[in-house]
Structures are given as C-alpha cells and as structure tokens.
A and B are shown apart, each in its own frame.
Chain A
Amino acid sequence: MTSAASSVTSAGRGGGRRLVDRVARVRELGIVVALGALFAVTGAANPSFLSYGSLRDILLNSAIVALLAVGQTLVVITRNVDLSVSSVVGLSAFGGALILADHPGVPVPLVIAGCVALGAACGAVNGLLVGAARVPALVATLGTLYAFRGVDYAWAGGRQVNAADMPEGFLALGTRSVLGVPLPALVALAVLLTVGWMLRNLRSGRELYAIGSSPEAAVLAGIRVRRRVLTAFVANGALAGLAGVMWAARFGTVDATVATGKELDVIAAVVVGGVAIFGGSGTVYGAALGAVLLASITSALAVLRVDALAQTAINGALLLAAIVLDRLLALRVAAALRRRRSP
C-alpha cells in the first residue's frame, strides 16, 4: 500500500522521485490496458461500439462519476472516505432544479455557484465531524449519508421537477458538445487536470499523501492535519455539488431519490483506479480512468446483448478482473524495481 510513499523516504532525491513517478504512471497503465482490451473485444464483436456517437455516450456517462471519483480521491488519499457523496449530489440536484423551476429569472451561473456552495457546506459538515470531532470517516459520513438524504426528502416532499419546468439553456448544458466533446466531460477533464496538478505540485497536495501514509508522522512533521482533512472534505463536497447540477441538466427529471446508491460506484471507480483505500497513494487520473472503465463495461454489456439478468454478475467479474490485472502489473513492476536496486 505505502510502497510509493516509503520509497520516497528511503530512496534519494532526484533519481528516487523519477522512479516513483514511473511506478505511479504504470499503476494507471494497468487500467489503460484493461480499457484497451475491453474496447478491442467489444469493438470486434460490434464495430458500432467504436463509433463517434458511442464514444461520446461513454464520455457523457462517465463524466459525473469521474468528477465524483476525483473528489473522493482527495478524501481517500488522507485515509478517510466519504460515503455521503450520493446524498450531496441528490440534494444539490434537487435544490438547483427547484430554483430553476420556481424562479426562472435566476441566472444559471448563479444556480451552479449556489449548488457548489451547498455541496461545500455539506462537505464542511463531514470535514468537521471527521477532522474536529474525530469521528471515524466511515461512521461520520454514513450518518450524513442518511442525514443529507433526509433533508432532501423533507425538502422535496414528494415533488418532482421535470424537464419541461427547467429552462432549455440549462438542460442543453448537460448534453451540448464543444468541439465534439460533451460539455460535462470537458468540465470533468478540467477539474481532473487542475486537481491532478495541485496534488502533484503544491505543498498542500503533497501533505494529503503524507497524512494518508502516516497520520502520526504527519502531525510530528508539523502538518496541520485537521485543516487539510477538512479542506479535502470541503473540496469533495463542492465537486459533489457541481456533479448534482450536472445530473439535473443531463437527466432533466429530478426528485428526492436522485443518485441513491451512487457512492458505491464512485468508490469502486476510485479503487479500480489504483487509489489505495487505506490512503497515501494513488492519483486522480487513475480514479477518473476507473470511472471511464466502469461506464465502458456497462455500455459494452448493453451493446454485446448480454442477458440482462447476468449483467450485474458479469459487471462485478470484469471489475475484479481489471483490479487483478492492475495489481499483477503493479507487483511485477515493483519486483523489477527491487531487482534493479539490489546490486
């Protein structure tokens, strides 16, 4: 788990870091290989899977989960987890849709900003529970998973907002393409690159890894752990808020049950993407690729006319296969590195 981090401390400066980078890159390579294999097999069986329209659909399908996976990675790296993301998405989607439906005069950018702020506030609740009150993240966010959904239920009171109630311009955001790439995917990509850069190059980003590798050591090293953990949760909440608006724009039908159960998809994407569930290693690129892989598997099964009743089981089996493949590659590289280092 912590091989990447421990090699930072054991290996020297320049050369060691390059080595770590290479390992990190190979970690994602495993998923890329799995993704390539999936596309090759499915494309051979049904070439239309590789058509522009189909690829566009897959990007569209994975955008929201990818965005959530990026946020979740921030939290998981610090050896925490946020189970409440699906409820935050639901709350944000309903809140945004309701305002757009009932107050058509409110400008769309303001609504989006409001939803992001709402998500960040939810994230702050999680962050305070985990960081300040020292409640284990699993328990705290399980609690807020229900609490936020409960607020959503109470707020909605059985109401549903439909596509016809929301402005056309807003709905178009969910499906419009810029230069052939769907807008939600572009948003996810922009977030991905920004967060990826920050995690890699900023001190605050590196400190998240340090906290996840060894919280005690991080405290001794003078890292303000609570504050960093709180920041990670707030950022994750804000991204969940953004994902909520994207959900509303994309599906157009919003009630209080939006995104129920999606937290598991997100965590699966993060884990498939090679982010260690016990913190300290992994990248947002891997997590985003994990989301794309999950969406591709679902699409591929639908395209390959796999029996509907078997789909869930096959989905799970393919997921395991992808993880095993990734793990084998990682072990192999680690062994190769050891051999090279030993003489």
Chain B
Amino acid sequence: MTTRTPWRPVALLAGLVLLTSACGGTTKSDVQQQQSSAPAGSASSAASSAAADPNAPLKQGLKIAFLPKQVNNPYFTIADKGGVDAAGEFGGEGKEVGPSDASASSQVSYINTLIQQKQDAIVISANDPNAVVPALKQARAAGIKVVSYDSDTAPEGRDIFVNQASAEDLGRTEVQLLAKQLGNKGKIAILSATPNATNQNTWIEFMKDELSKPEYKDMELVKVAYGNDDDQKSFTETQGLLRSYPDLAGIISPTTVGIAAAARYLSDSPYKGKVKLTGLGTPNQLRKFVKDGTIEAFELWNPADLGYLASYAAAALASGQTTGAEGETFKAGKLGTYTVGAKGEVLLGKPTVFDKSNIDDFDF
C-alpha cells in the first residue's frame, strides 16, 4: 500500500489532463486525435515527441507484460507464449501475469503493480472495456505503452488494438463454412456463450446479416441457444436443440467451449455426421472429432500468432517505430509488416480453416 502512494498525485494529475482532453466528444477523428495527443500530455513520457520511424531498431531489453483475461485459460496460455517467444526474438523480456477469474474488476490491481514495476509495455486482453481504462491511463501517463489484444479496451485506454480477426470476417465465414457443408439449405441454430458476451453477439449479428443474402434463402436460423461457456450447459443445450428441432441441419458454435461440448454430444449420438457442426475451436481440442467425422471443418485464428504480433506491436511502440496512428507501419518478425488501421487497430488476418487435410499441421 505504501509503495503505491507516491504515484497517486502524478496519476491523478495525468488522469485529469486526459479527462479534460477527452471531454470534447467521441467522433472517430477525435479518438484518433486523443491517441496521438495523450502521451504528449503526460509529464513523464520519454518517447512521446518522437515521430514514428518505421525503420527504427527495436530497443533491447524491453520489459513486456502480458495481462490476459485470466491465467489458466489454455487459449491465453498459447497466445501469451507466442508473445513471450516474440520478446525473446527481439531481445526483450516477456512475462505473463493476471487474475484467475475473468471478472471486470480483477485486472486493475495487476495494472497498478505493473506500473510500479516500470514495465515498458503492457499487452492486455480486457475483461471489461471500461473498467480497466482509468488504470491504463495511469500506465500511459507513466510512459508505458499499452497494446490490447483479443478483447479491446475503450480506445483511450490503449495505443494499439491487435484484432485477431475482424468480427465481420468471423461472422460471415462461419456461415459460409456451414452453408458449403449443407449445400446452402436447411435449418440451422447457433450455440453461443453467454447471452451478453460482446464478441459472440457481434459475430452473431454478422451471421444474421450474411444469412439475409439471397444465396442463403433456403437456410433458416431457428434459434440462438446459450451454453454459458459451461460444458454441462452447452451439452444440455445441444440436446435441447436436436430435440426441439428434429430436422435441424447444422449448428454454428462461435465459442471453443460450446463447440467442444456440442461435438462430444454429436459424436456419441445418432446425429453424428448428419447434423453439421462448425464454429470456432482449437485444433487440439477438436482433432478427435474432425478425424471421426463429427466435424468437417471449423476455423480460428492462430492464438500464438496473435500474441506474437501483439508483442511486436508493443515493442514497436516502445521503440518509436510507430505511435499507433493510422497508416503507420511496423515490422512483426516472421509475420511481416503490418499497417495500423483506423482507431489504432491492427488486424492479424483472415481466420484459418481447419479440416482433415491440415489439422495435423497445427499444435495448439
């Protein structure tokens, strides 16, 4: 507690400065402006005045902390390992810290600790887009670069958001994947996570939009069920879908817990291979079901690449290769060169489709 006190006045001041500069409204151009002006407004920011130089060398010995939604989540373990490996490549030092529960407030104390430790960059997947912003503003005021990955914070809380795949791509390609297996006709259902999961709900909106296109006129979305990312509940909901819609042709499950539970149910039921299942899952989790014919194909981005890219983005920010402004570029090791898009977003790429032919090439 006592070690935290010296930072309070500085943080408070910086917070006030940011607050006043953020009061002007939130149109897109304003957000952009805030991003470039925010570091300059802080007292202790060292590299703030330097313009972006895409050819600047990456600094050595950068300390980069990965703060996932929760530790113990295999997805983040893989992503953060990718990030730590990347840090090793460019001579930095990466580590993963974080809470064991994914609640909105649990990350704040970790951010405070990281500020005290004087990290060079924080790479965060936000449990709540707003709850972490005040703490992240403190961090940025202290000269720490902030990159969000997987799940974004409000734009004023970070310099760059590394987006795993655009919501639009994910939503539309999942429908396309299933439509191809069904010959563009039949009743389909969605097995999602919780009813208020932001990611899933955005994807589902794009799925519905894709389904409204004329080529899918014979496909009907009959129900969106919610398995709450709980094995048992997802299992029961899958059973319920098949009982209440006996002529169901396919299920899309845009969550790794849901698709695994649904696959497990289908693989042991008479519906195996008849009811098509697709969605987002990891190859290790679904390998068995792809090989036994329960699932033809599913998709996901590569979480290790996501962490890798976020790590390089953090290093590029800390080394002055980019400031996070639109149109700037930076290099991300083996992944090549990336360009910062609108609102400080960097897109990892199109999701990878996994099927029988390529699933053995992936191990995550």
Contacts and interface: CB of A to CB of B under 8 A. Distances in A.
B243 A46 contact: yes
Contacts of B257: 253
Interface string B37-74: 00000000000000000000000000000000001111
Contact of B236 (A64, A160, A255, A298): A298
B25 interface: no
Interface stretch (A7-15, A66-74, A204-212, A303-311): A303-311
B214 to A, nearest CB: 28
B225 interface: yes
Contacts of B246: 48
Given A61-B232, A175-B268, A308-B225, A162 B284 contact: yes
Chain A interface mostly helix, strand, loop or mixed?
Answer: helix
Nearest to A305: B244
A302 B232 contact: no
B289 A163 contact: yes
B260 A158 contact: no
Contacts of A46: 243-244
B239 interface: yes
Interface in A134-166: 150, 153, 156-160, 162-165
B326 interface: no
Among A64, A299, A304, A305, the one with the most B-chain Cβ atoms within 10 Å of its Cβ is A305
Contacts of A262: 232
B244 A53 contact: no
A299 B244 CA distance: 10
* Interface size class of chain A, counting residues whose CB lies under 8 Å from the partner chain: 35 or more
B263 to A, nearest CB: 8
A49 interface: yes
Interface in B288-335: 288-289, 291
A120 interface: no
Interface string A292-305: 00010011011111
B270 A53 contact: yes
B72 A257 contact: yes
Contacts of B72: 153, 156-158, 255-257
A197 interface: no
Contacts of A308: 195, 224-226
Contact of A252 (B232, B244, B264, B269): B264
A302 B76 CA distance: 31
B240 A303 contact: yes
A272 to B, nearest CB: 17
B77 interface: yes
Interface in B205-255: 223-226, 231-233, 235-237, 239-241, 243-244, 246
Nearest to A163: B288
Contacts of A305: 223, 244
A3 interface: no
A153 B100 contact: yes
B231 A303 contact: no
Contact of A57 (B231, B239, B264): B239
B202 interface: no
A302 B244 contact: yes
A258 interface: yes
Contacts of A258: 231
Interface string A98-141: 00000000000000000000000000000000000000000000
A299 B238 CA distance: 10
Contacts of A247: 231
Contacts of B239: 54, 57, 61, 299, 302
Among B233, B241, B284, B287, the one with the most A-chain Cβ atoms within 10 Å of its Cβ is B284
B285 interface: yes
B261 interface: yes
Contacts of B291: 164
B287 A162 contact: yes
Given A57-B239, A302-B243, A160 B74 contact: yes
A244 to B, nearest CB: 13
A266 B47 CA distance: 56
A159 B73 CA distance: 8
A198 to B, nearest CB: 29
A177 to B, nearest CB: 10
Given A54-B239, A299-B236, A303-B244, A252 B260 contact: yes
Nearest to B225: A308
Contact of B288 (A64, A153, A160, A162): A162
23 contacts: A46-B244, A49-B243, A51-B243, A53-B269, A53-B270, A61-B236, A150-B100, A153-B71, A159-B77, A250-B264, A251-B235, A251-B260, A251-B261, A251-B264, A253-B257, A255-B73, A257-B72, A262-B232, A295-B236, A298-B233, A298-B236, A299-B236, A308-B224
Interface of A: 46, 48-49, 51, 53-54, 57, 61, 64, 150, 153, 156-160, 162-165, 175, 247, 250-253, 255-258, 262, 295, 298-299, 301-305, 308-309
Given A164-B291, A255-B72, 9 more contacts: A48-B246, A157-B77, A159-B74, A160-B284, A251-B231, A251-B261, A295-B236, A301-B240, A302-B240
